[in-house]
Amino acid sequence: MLNQKDILSTIEMIDQQHLDIRTITMGISLLSCCDENPQKALMKIYEKITRYAENLVKTGEDIEREFGIPIVNKRISVTPMALVAGASHTEDYAPFAAALDRAAKACGVNFIGGYSALVQKGMTEADEKLIRSIPKVLAETDLVCASVNVGSTRAGINVDAAALMGQVVKDTAAATTDRDGFGCAKLVVFCNAVEDNPFMAGAFHGVGEAERVINVGVSGPGVVHHALQAVKGQPLDVAAETVKKTAFRVTRMGQLVAQEASRRLDAPFGIVDLSLAPTPAIGDSVARILEELGVSVCGAHGTTAALALLNDAVKKGGVMASSSVGGLSGAFIPVSEDEGMIAAARAGTLCIDKLEAMTCVCSVGLDMIAVPGDTPAETIAAIIADEAAIGMVNNKTTAVRILPAPGKRVGDTIEMGGLLGSAPVMPVHPESSADFIHRGGRIPAPLHSLRN
Amino acid sequence: MNAIVTVLGHDKVGIIAAVCALLAKNNVNILDISQTILQGAFTMVMAVKMDASCSVGDLRTQLEALGQEMGITIRIQREEIFDAMHRI
């Protein structure tokens, strides 16, 4: 029989340390829905999503009840919409987003991702139409998430696209002024975007993926934090071992849930994403793990090193525990969604420059950061370009999800509620980057020998 | 199907009797029980075997209701979750 101590430790993890499955995401290919006639395409899209994902939420809830493990989100990701909508003779892509929104609501999921375009090397007409429609779409729909990939290690950075996205982020904030620019929380700008990411807002179902697939994202910053409290003051290799063992347990649970969901929904199991995803709840923070490792406040010197240790140990433990690992797989550092990060940003210790350094060693990027509403579009584009450069050179995924909250200044806070939390408005450098961004063109792909 | 029932709360008369009676009524066989008082809290872990006619979801609803009535927390979870997390 199982050891009583093990059973009680699992229950304590769930009850007191916020252990949960963060998301079960069904990826659905919409390539078969392409049609010259946009009306027909919309019907096909709605029909296919609601047919495949009809039982997604119910299955998630059943598994939650039977295994006694909370499954926080059930979501859908679809083929990048620019690829599907591009086949239709229409100038207006907003109805495609509306169809996604309706389908998501019919299925009962809380987000649908894939209003996306992949433009790392160049933009098609469809890509550009889609990108320009993003502000309107994010203001008019509730559940649709948009993402745009502007760079990759193989293609370099499309600075024209980054410049356009700077403006799109501003316009999205303006279109949702009544909600403090909330639309930007549903918009991610990527470099090296992955095709099997189950986490929002950046999830889409890549073209290299199967017809449909189940991807699962686990969580557990609270569990890691708690485990580290038992090895206080011991050398960092001991801490790394402790994180590894904990990540192994958490991921095994994710693997079990993923396989069970895949079997019940008759959709192939894709990947488990090993990301440590925080929530604004006390005791569910990545920042507090770094502080447990000995950095007095997240953002102080040493934070990047602590994060590198954490991120690597989570992967090492997780890889052993799952038959297929993918997605973003790393520690997330979304400022507004992490109670410790919010506190550190309010105190002024955690700044955007430090966050940028942290993204060199972890997943995924400058995430859920509020900046002053009067930040110029070029500055946002330059932030996107900086982050994309880190991803491009280091062969990793990076992203920017930034909220220039209209009318807000440094020191203000924007409240988004729920898992999205609250974001203190952080300062950006006031000096202009406009001339750099206005040059446009592409930053060529980096050399991958002579590495230093 | 095997499942694990855990009961946590303040110790009082009749907890084991009430939980066992409910399980028996649902034709659930108890394979193993371990019970202890941990820092004043009643802690019981049971391994049980359910027949095909009984669903974990139903049993969970009944056990939760009983727990509420007695002022204790009663859970049932499929055994696989513990196997996955603690055994290779």
A83-87, A167-171, A384-388, B7-11, range with the lowest pLDDT: B7-11
Over residues B34-40, the mean pLDDT reads: 84
- CATH of span A28-191: 3.20.70.20
C-alpha torsion A128→A134→A137→A142, nearest 10:
140
* pLDDT at residue A37 tops 90: yes
Q: What's the pLDDT tens digit per position in A421-452?
A: 899 999 999 999 999 999 999 999 999 887 76
> What pLDDT, on a 0 to 100 scale, did the predictor assign at position A452?
67
**B85–A6 CB contact, under 8 Å:** yes
The yes-or-no verdict on residue B37 having pLDDT over 90 is no
- Tell which of B61, B85, B87 to mutate to test the A interface (max A CBs under 10 Å): B85
For position A5, what pLDDT does the model report? 86
pLDDT in tens, A256-281: 999 999 999 999 999 999 888 898 88
> Which CATH number do you get for residue B71?
3.30.70.260
Residue A4: strand, helix, or coil: helix
CB burial of residue A34 (10 Å; 0-12, 13-18, 19+): middle
Please state whether beta strands A212-218 and A21-28 pair in parallel, antiparallel, or not at all (unpaired). antiparallel
The boundaries of the domain holding residue B71 are 2-86
SS (HEC) of A436-448: HHHHCCEECCCCC
pLDDT tens digits for A153-200?
Answer: 999 999 999 999 999 999 999 999 998 899 999 999 999 999 999 999
Give residue limits of the domains in chain A.
Answer: 28-191, 214-443
Confidence band, pLDDT 50/70/90 cuts, at residue A331: confident
Average pLDDT, chain A: 94
Phi, psi at A108, each rounded to 5°? 85, 10
Q: Please give the pLDDT value at position A375.
A: 96
Same fold, A28-191 and A214-443: yes
- How many angstroms separate the CA atoms of B51 and A96, rounded? 48
pLDDT band at A418 (very low <50, low <70, confident <90, very high): confident
Q: Which residues of chain B does A6 touch, with a Cβ-Cβ cutoff of 8 Å?
A: 82, 85-86
The B residues from 18 to 77 touching A (CB cutoff 8 Å) are: 31-32, 34, 36, 43, 45, 47, 56-57, 60, 75-77
Q: How far separated are the first and last CA of chain A, in Å rounded?
A: 53
Q: What residues of chain B lie within 8 A of the CB of A10, using their CB?
A: 81-82, 85-86
Report d(CA B32, CA A27) in Å as an integer. 42
Q: What is the mean pLDDT of residues A289-317?
A: 95
A411, A425 in Cβ contact below 8 A?
A: yes
Q: Give chain B's domain count.
A: 1
Which CATH number describes the domain made up of A214-443? 3.20.70.20
CA atoms within 13 A of residue A154's CA, in its CB half-sphere = 5
Give the model confidence (pLDDT) of A214-262 as tens digits: 999 988 899 999 999 999 999 999 999 999 999 999 999 999 999 999 9
Q: Provide mean pLDDT across the span A349-368.
A: 93
Out of A1, A8, A62, whose CB is closest to B32? A1
Percent of chain A whose pLDDT exceeds 70? 99
Q: Quick one: pLDDT at residue A275?
A: 86
